[in-house]
Chain A
C-alpha cells in the first residue's frame, strides 16, 4: 500500500470519526475529552484537557485584577476569568475551590506576559492586558472581558470632590498620575487646566492624594471602583470616566481551536446562560453590576 493510499484511508477514517462525533454531540453523550480528540492534534485545547490542568500566567500585585487577599489566596477579576475557563474546560463551576484546583497560576511580571506566551510557559495570559494592534502581531487576543477607563479619584477630606469642582478650580487643582509619555495629555483630557504631578507608580499617585499633595489621582477606573468600595469614607469617585481600552486574555498565535474555545467560553460566561462567576466577580471587584442581558437580538 502506498503512502498516499494510507493517508487517504486515514483521512477517510478521520472523516468517519468526525461524523461519529457530530452524531454523538447531537445525542449529547460526548464528553469534552473526546471532542478535543477531534480538534487539530497540536491544539493547546487538547494539551490542556489531557493535562487536566490549565496553566495561567498572571500577576499577584494589582488589586482588583490579580492580588492576594488577607488569607494569602490569589483573587481578583483576572483570577475569576481563569476560573470561568477552568469551569468550562473541566466541567466544574459550582465550587470556586474545585475550579481553582484545576488551575496552575504562573506568577509573572507584566513585562513577561508576551515572552511567557511565546516561550510556551503558559497556556494563556490573563493579566489586565490592553489589546493593541502592535501586541496583536505577537499574540492572539481573546474577546475583551472588560473595558478599562480612566477616572479621577478624590479624597473625602480634599478641597475638590466632584469633577465639576475640579474643573472649576482650574489651575489650582493638582492631579497626580502614573509617569508616562502621554501622562500630561491623559490628565488634560479629564482636567484641561490642572497641574500635573507625575509619579513612578499608581500606588504613589494615590499616596499623593492621601497626603494632600494632589487633589485628584488620575488612575484606572477599576482601581477607583475598588478603592471606593473598600474605603467609602476615605475616597470618592469624582464621577467622570473617559478613555477606553480593551482587556483581553492572550494566547499563542496559530492555534484557532484554542482561541475559538476561549472566546466561546467567555461569550457564554458574559452573555449566555452561565454568567454567575462573571457577575459575582464584577460586583465584588468593581462595585458595579453588568447590564441586564436582554433576550432577542444578540448584542455581543
Chain B
C-alpha cells in the first residue's frame, strides 16, 4: 500500500504544481483587481461604482462552474477562444475579484469617517489619506477574510479539472481510473490540499500579528 502511494506521487506532484499555479494566478490577479474595485466601490463616482456593483452582484450570484463553462463554451460562439487553461483561470479570477472587492469595501468602510475628516483637516490629499491613514488600518481588517478567500480559491481551483486541466483533482482521478482503488487516493489528495491550506492559514496568522500594531 505504501509502495503504491509512493509510486503515484510523481503523478500527483504534477497535478499539485498545476493547482498551485492556477491558485497563484487567481489569487494575485484577483488581489490587484479586487482592491481596485473595492476602492472604486467606496470612493468612485456613480459611473465607476455602479458598474462595479452590478459586476460584483452578478458574479457573486453565479455558480462558479456555470461561469467556467460560460467562458469556455460561450465565448467561442462569438469568436473568442482563450483556450481551456486561460479560460478557467479567467473565470476563477473574475469570480474571486468580486469577492475580494467586497472584502476590500468592507475593510475600508469599517474605518470610521472621522479618520478621513482628520486627514482632510491636516491637509492630506486623497492619495495621502488612503496611503497613510485609511489603508494601514483597513489592511488589518482585510487580511483575515481575504486569507479565507484565498483558501477558498485553492479549493475552488479543483473545478478546472472539469475543463480537462490536469490539476491535483484530475491527477487523482486519473490514478483512480487506472487502479480502481479510490480511497487511498482521495485521502492522499485531501492531505495535499490540507497541507496547502494549513500553511496558508499559518502564514495568515503571522501576517495578522505582523499588522496588528502600528509601526512608529
Question: Which residues of A line the B interface, CB within 8 A?
Answer: 59-63, 67-70, 72, 106-109, 111-112, 115, 119-121, 201-204, 206-207, 223, 227
Contact = CB atoms under 8 A, between A and B. Distances in A.
B180 A119 contact: no
Contact of A63 (B170, B177, B183): B177
B183 A62 contact: no
9 contacts: A60-B174, A62-B177, A70-B7, A108-B164, A111-B162, A115-B69, A119-B73, A121-B76, A207-B183
Contact of B164 (A68, A106, A204, A223): A106
A60 B10 CA distance: 16
B202 to A, nearest CB: 32
A120 B76 contact: yes
B182 A60 contact: no
A161 B164 CA distance: 38
Nearest to A59: B177
Contacts, number: 67
Contacts of B176: 61, 203
Contact of A60 (B7, B81, B166): B166
A73 to B, nearest CB: 11
Contacts of A223: 180
B181 interface: yes
Contacts of B164: 106-109, 112
B174 A61 contact: yes
Contact of B182 (A106, A121, A203, A227): A203
A207 B73 contact: no
B180 A227 contact: yes
A109 B180 contact: no
B178 A63 contact: yes
Interface string B166-186: 100010011111101111000
Given A60-B170, A107-B166, A115 B73 contact: yes
B11 A201 contact: no
A109 B177 contact: no
A265 B183 CA distance: 41
Interface residues of B, number: 27
A68 B174 contact: yes
Q: Which of B161, B166, B177 has the most CB of A within 10 A?
A: B177
Contacts of B174: 60-61, 67-68
Given A119-B77, A121-B76, A67 B182 contact: no
**Across chains A and B, which 5 residue pairs bring their CB atoms closest together, nearest first?**
A61-B177, A107-B164, A61-B173, A108-B164, A203-B182
A286 B180 CA distance: 16
Given A70-B7, A108-B163, A112-B164, 15 more contacts: A60-B166, A60-B170, A61-B176, A61-B177, A62-B177, A63-B180, A67-B178, A68-B175, A107-B165, A109-B161, A109-B163, A112-B162, A121-B76, A204-B182, A223-B180
A72 B13 CA distance: 12
Q: Which of B72, B77, B164, B166 has the most CB of A within 10 A?
A: B164
A229 to B, nearest CB: 13
Interface in B81-131: 81, 84
Nearest to A112: B164
A82 to B, nearest CB: 15
Contacts of A63: 177-178, 180
A111 to B, nearest CB: 7
B71 to A, nearest CB: 12
Interface in B136-173: 161-166, 170, 173
Contacts of B180: 63, 202-203, 206-207, 223, 227
Nearest to A74: B174
A63 B165 CA distance: 19
A69 B175 CA distance: 9
B169 to A, nearest CB: 10
A206 B176 CA distance: 12
Contacts of A203: 176, 180-182
A115 B73 CA distance: 7
B178 A68 contact: yes
Interface in B49-77: 69, 72-73, 76-77
Contact of A107 (B73, B81, B170): B170
B5 to A, nearest CB: 14
Contacts of A227: 180
Nearest to A223: B180
A97 to B, nearest CB: 20
A119 B164 CA distance: 15
Contacts of B81: 121
Contact of A68 (B11, B84, B183): B11
Q: Which of A63, A109, A203 has the most CB of B within 10 A?
A: A203
Contacts of A109: 161-164
Contacts of A112: 162-164
